[in-house]
Amino acid sequence: MSYLFVVDSADFVFLKNQTNLTAGNISSHMTKLEDAGYVKVTKSFVGKRPQTMFRLTAKGRKAFENYRKSLNSALSCLPE
């Protein structure tokens, strides 16, 4: 979700290259995020090649912002 948070949308190949996850892992994670309403998946063709695009929904963006706030709060309690 962090990659999608900083871009408007990203394709499957970009996420695979950036995360070093397998195609199966990305598909599994994105299916769960889509089912939760956090990610919108769009499938199309560019020429004869399939292209899968992902983007955060408003609900997903809000959930990620809340996660970041919670993580920052928890980390601020740790001693240096």
The domain that holds 8 is classified in CATH as 1.10.10.10
Q: Is the pLDDT of residue 80 over 80?
A: no
Global confidence as pTM: 0.85
- The answer as to whether 33 is a domain residue is yes
Expressed as residue numbers, the domain containing 62 is: 2-70
The pLDDT assigned to 79 comes to 79
**Exposure pattern of 20-59 as b/e (b: 16+ CB <10 Å)?**
eeeeeebeeebeebeeeebbbeeeeeeeeeeebebebbee
Q: Is residue 78 part of a domain?
A: no
Q: Say if 64 falls within a structural domain.
A: yes
Tell me if 76 is assigned to some domain.
no
Whole-angstrom distance, CA of residue 64 vs CA of residue 38: 9
Is 75 part of any domain? no
pLDDT tier at 38 (50, 70, 90 boundaries)? very high
pLDDT digits (tens, 9 = 90+) for 50-63: 999 999 999 999 99
Q: How many domains, in total, are found in the chain?
A: 1
